[in-house]
């Protein structure tokens, strides 16, 4: 009888143990493969992060890891809180390794503007570096948000952010979809040589977002960031000119004064418009802001 009773007690204990929740270890650590194909391991989500690129800084703050960001490159100016962080340099691609080391980060978040040699130099100093590859689509940008969220322990916040961003993109797509006519666009990146300004071609987010916003980039069949002559621009006769270099002092009035540009439809119709280049050149969550801004400029009646 006693043996039977003991057997029942043991069976009951095993059953209860199987049903009880299993407590996870306080820290399981994580390993992720970065954009250089390297497996980067952390014992726990990073609590002290140095950002080496404006896009990375914007991603960190967007996913809720702004409070864990302890340093940023000199060009990281968004959000405003980032400006209060220690500056690690970055002018002409030169960073202060001493400044980064002094911050004692548990993670340095590099980007595609950083070289593999810079990554190795930081690793040689005993620092953990994750290289975040530039996305080529909005979907890949969402994945980058999720990667940074995992590295910093903000998966839940990132999931909500990605859902919201996708909804905003879908809203633009829905309004643009019925319209087959596309506005021709010249996007000016740099007019230090006004006779042959730099623009954005295929494979850039600028072209991708102009297209998704219901426009057609007149340089979309050219590689990366080409220069266009005045003759090429006049031949294409863009309906809209967007000044991504407005932040560098290029004005609507100065465009109209360039020889030959007065004949362009965009100039004659008052469609030379300043544009915040940061919204389309930094591969982070504000790309969606850029899409919305472009859609409103190209189709103002749809987005009142």
Whole-number pLDDT of residue 28 = 64
Exposed / middle / buried, residue 33 (Cβ in 10 Å: 0-12, 13-18, 19+): exposed
Q: Are residues 159 and 34 in the same domain?
A: yes
> Which residue reads 């909005």 in tokens?
138
Q: Are residues 45 and 88 in the same domain?
A: yes
Whole-number pLDDT of residue 206 = 97
Instruction: Tell me the three-class secondary structure of the chain, residue by residue.
Output: CHHHHHHHHHHHHHHHHHHCCCCCCCCCCEEEECCCCCEEEECCCCCCEEECCHHHHHHHHHCCCHHHEEEECCCCCCCHHHHHCCECECHHHCECHHHHHHCCCCEEEEECCCCHHHHHHHHHCCCCEEEECCCCCHHHHHHHHHHHHHHHCCHHHHHHHHHHHHHHHHHHHHHHCCCCCCEEEEEEEECCCCCCCEECCECCHHHHHHHHCCEEECCCCCECCCECCHHHHHHHCCCEEEECCHHHCCCHHHHHCCCCHHHCHHHHCCCEEECCCHHHHCCCCCHHHHHHHHHHHHCHHHHC
Q: Are residues 34 and 160 in the same domain?
A: yes
User: Final residue of a domain: which of 130, 165, 200?
Assistant: 165
User: Final residue of a domain: which of 111, 139, 165?
Assistant: 165
Cα dihedral: 162, 165, 166, 169 (round 10) = -160
Q: Are residues 57 and 160 in the same domain?
A: yes
Whether residue 108 is contained in a domain is answered as yes
Q: Are residues 123 and 194 in the same domain?
A: no
Q: Are residues 161 and 36 in the same domain?
A: yes
Q: Are residues 210 and 292 in the same domain?
A: yes
Q: What angle do helix axes 138-152 and 287-298 make, rounded to 10 degrees? A: 150
Q: Are residues 290 and 241 in the same domain?
A: yes
Q: Are residues 235 and 272 in the same domain?
A: yes
Rg (CA), the chain: 25
Distance CA(240)–CA(81), nearest Å, equals 34
Whether residue 22 is contained in a domain is answered as no
Whether residue 21 is contained in a domain is answered as no
Q: How many domains does the chain have?
A: 2
Q: Domain containing 263 — which CATH number?
A: 3.40.50.1980
Q: How many CB atoms lie within 10 A of CB 166?
A: 14
Whether residue 173 is contained in a domain is answered as no
Whether residue 197 is contained in a domain is answered as yes
From first to last of its 304 residues, what are the pLDDT tens digits of the chain?
Answer: 433 334 333 343 433 334 433 333 434 689 999 999 999 999 999 999 999 999 999 999 999 999 999 999 999 999 999 999 999 999 999 999 999 999 999 999 999 999 999 999 999 999 999 999 999 999 999 999 999 999 999 999 999 999 999 999 999 999 999 887 899 999 999 999 999 999 999 999 999 999 999 999 999 999 999 999 999 999 999 999 999 999 999 999 999 999 999 999 999 999 999 999 999 999 999 999 999 999 999 999 888 7
**pTM score > 0.85 for this model?**
yes
Whether residue 211 is contained in a domain is answered as yes
Domain membership of residue 224 as a residue range: 179-303
Distance CA(171)–CA(295), nearest Å, equals 11
Whether residue 9 is contained in a domain is answered as no
Q: Are residues 153 and 184 in the same domain?
A: no
Q: What angle do helix axes 138-152 and 54-62 make, rounded to 10 degrees? A: 70
Whether residue 241 is contained in a domain is answered as yes
Whole-number pLDDT of residue 207 = 97
């Amino acid at each position: 009888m006693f043996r039977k009773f003991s057997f029942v007690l043991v069976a009951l204990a095993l059953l209860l143990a199987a049903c009880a929740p299993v407590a996870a270890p306080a820290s399981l650590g994580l390993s992720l493969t970065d954009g250089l194909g390297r497996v980067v391991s952390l014992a726990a989500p990073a609590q002290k992060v140095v950002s080496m690129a404006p896009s990375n800084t914007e991603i960190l703050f967007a996913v809720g890891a702004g409070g864990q960001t302890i340093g940023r490159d000199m060009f990281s100016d968004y959000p405003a809180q980032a400006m209060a962080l220690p500056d690690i340099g970055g002018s002409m691609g030169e960073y202060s390794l001493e400044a980064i080391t002094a911050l004692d980060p548990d993670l340095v978040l590099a980007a595609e503007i950083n070289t593999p040699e810079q990554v190795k130099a930081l690793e040689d100093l005993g620092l953990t570096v994750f290289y975040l590859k530039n996305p080529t689509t909005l979907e890949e940008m969402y994945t980058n948000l999720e990667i940074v969220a995992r590295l910093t322990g903000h998966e839940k916040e990132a999931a909500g952010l990605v859902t919201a961003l996708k909804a905003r993109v879908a809203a633009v797509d829905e309004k643009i979809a019925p319209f087959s006519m596309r506005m021709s666009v010249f996007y000016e990146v740099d007019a230090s040589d006004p006779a042959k300004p730099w623009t954005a071609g295929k494979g850039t987010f600028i072209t991708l977002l102009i297209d998704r916003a219901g426009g057609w980039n007149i340089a979309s069949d050219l590689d990366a960031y080409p220069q266009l002559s005045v003759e090429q621009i006049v031949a294409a006769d863009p309906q809209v000119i967007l000044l991504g270099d407005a932040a560098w002092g290029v004005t609507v009035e100065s465009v109209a004064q360039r020889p030959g540009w007065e004949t362009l439809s965009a100039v004659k119709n008052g469609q030379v418009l300043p544009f915040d280049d940061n919204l389309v050149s930094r591969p982070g969550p504000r790309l969606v802001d850029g899409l919305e801004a472009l859609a409103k400029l190209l189709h103002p009646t749809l987005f009142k």
